[in-house]
Copies of this chain bind each other. A is one copy, B any other.
Amino acid sequence: MIGTFQVRTDLALEARESYEEDDARIRGVKIQETEDPEKEIYTTVVKIETENGARAMGKPVGTYITLEAPNLSVPDEGCHREISREIARHVGDLLGEGTGGVLVVGLGNREVTPDALGPEVVNHLRITRHMIREFGRASVLQEGEKSVSAIVPGVMAQTGMETLEIVKGIVKQTEPDAVVVIDALAARSTRRLNRTIQITDAGIHPGSGVGNHREGISREILGIPVIAIGVPTVVDAATIVNDTMETLVEALDRSDEMKKLGGMLGNLDRAEKYQLIQELISPHLNTMFVTPKDIDDTIRRLSFTISEGLNLAFSSGEKQE
């Protein structure tokens, strides 16, 4: 029941799950799941193909690839290398062959640990654009390699500017063929934190990300392909309240003595439930997030894994594996 209350999620995977409870198939949305048990990587490709599908999913038309890897949050070097290769493969596919120059945008606030994913990824990238301009493409890049530039724009409280304004200005001035944005996301469930990577050609959308962008960054707006790579590193504090409510109802249902109570809660009509949840979410909570205590290690590992994936994709990503 309470699942229908709108909790923000940046993951298409979670949007689908929420929908699926009511109806298994949505017109205009194709879903394909593959599992690599050996590497322990579970891949879900959600293709939203029509405006109808977009409305149903609450996400724009596009391809959403989700890699789930339990090992992503543990320090297993071999496993991380596999994930880097997967990232490279998908980013290479989405970029296509004609892309010569890529601008990578590391979104987020480097001063707030779980929001520092984007800036940290940019730290580890191999930047080549300036060398090409100085020494010539032939002496810097190999066949098929991309010219790479990058920016860490900072967040609005630091810059006074929308990220979109900064990115749009730089894109117009430096004319890359594609933009890749990296962002820390807010997940709906603590279960997905730091073990899920979403890669999409649908860009970044208003209200997504830890910092809650007010304007999106997408192909429609920039005029060139925009690939967004996101990892959920926080859960909105309000989500915790929602999860608690769900668990409460389940718990009440399981306990014989409490069943009547649970039934009553479950029987509240939609408006009553909505009012109840609104009261439970204190205004404070909307400005807070929940994150694991070892988030510093996690961000360090994740940023390294993603930047390796991008370095592979930009050097000769298409031919990977």
Q: Are A282 and B190 in contact (CB under 8 A)?
A: yes
Q: Are A166 and B170 in contact (CB under 8 A)?
A: yes
Q: Are B161 and A165 in contact (CB under 8 A)?
A: no
- Separation in Å of the A91 CB from the closest CB of chain B? 18
A16 sits at the interface (CB 8 A)? no
What string of 1s and 0s marks CB contacts (under 8 Å) between A267-288 and chain B? 0100010011001101011011
Q: Are B161 and A174 in contact (CB under 8 A)?
A: yes
- If the complex has contacts A127-B160, A287-B294, A293-B210, are A172 and B174 also in contact, measured as CB distance less than 8 A? no
Q: Are A157 and B127 in contact (CB under 8 A)?
A: yes
Q: Are A112 and B296 in contact (CB under 8 A)?
A: yes
Which B residue's beta carbon lies closest to that of A286? B293
- Chain B residues lying within 8 Å of A128, measured Cβ to Cβ, are 160
Which B residue's beta carbon lies closest to that of A211? B293
Interface size class of A (residues with CB under 8 A): 35 or more
In the bound complex, CA of A122 to CA of B105 (Å)? 20
A56 sits at the interface (CB 8 A)? no
Which B residue's beta carbon lies closest to that of A124? B300
A6 sits at the interface (CB 8 A)? no
Q: Are A153 and B151 in contact (CB under 8 A)?
A: yes
- Separation in Å of the A83 CB from the closest CB of chain B? 17
Identify A159's interface contact among B149, B173, B244, CB under 8 A.
Answer: B149
- Chain B residues lying within 8 Å of A169, measured Cβ to Cβ, are 166, 168-174
- Chain B residues lying within 8 Å of A280, measured Cβ to Cβ, are 244, 247-248, 251
